[in-house]
């Protein structure tokens, strides 16, 4: 992927994926001077920072590009679990909101009979 510079003095950015890359976003970066073609910076994916690698691994997981058939299935399961949790929480709230309010404590204590008599 080539990004053409937006400003006249910005470098040309080139992102390439190597043939044996660990995932679809393992980008090797190359920055070239837009006028001379001089290499300003070249960073192979293997030599990139830990944060850079973690970001692109996370991006690959998020877009379902890791794990073959299992990766997207895990993402689908997570999305369905989120819908289930939203539904169960909302239905629990609605049931509780529609239930009549409980009586006051002193009313409850007067209406209850002791389970056994102490004068036996």
8 A C-beta contact, residue 40 and residue 49: no
Q: Is 116 a residue whose pLDDT tops 70?
A: no
User: pLDDT for 23-64, tens place per residue?
Assistant: 889 999 999 999 999 999 999 999 999 999 999 999 998 888
Averaged pLDDT of the chain: 87
Cα-trace Rg, the chain: 31
Among the listed residues 79, 50, 62, 77, the one whose alpha carbon sits nearest the alpha carbon of residue 23? 62
Cα–Cα dist 89/2, whole Å:
47
Cα–Cα dist 89/82, whole Å:
11
How far is the first Cα of the chain from the last one, in angstroms, to the nearest whole number?
91
Domain boundaries, the chain: 1-66, 68-111
pTM of the model: 0.56
């Amino acid at each position: 992927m080539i990004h053409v510079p937006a400003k006249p003095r910005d470098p040309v950015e080139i992102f390439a994926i190597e043939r044996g890359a660990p995932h679809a976003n393992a980008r090797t970066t190359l920055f070239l001077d837009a006028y001379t073609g001089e290499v300003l910076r070249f960073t192979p994916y293997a030599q990139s920072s830990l944060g850079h690698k973690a970001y692109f691994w996370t991006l690959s997981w998020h877009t379902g590009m890791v794990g073959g058939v299992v990766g997207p299935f895990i993402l689908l399961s997570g999305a369905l679990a989120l819908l289930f949790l939203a539904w169960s929480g909302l239905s629990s709230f609605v049931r509780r909101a529609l239930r009549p309010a409980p009586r006051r404590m002193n009313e409850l204590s007067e209406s209850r009979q002791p389970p056994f008599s102490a004068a036996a």
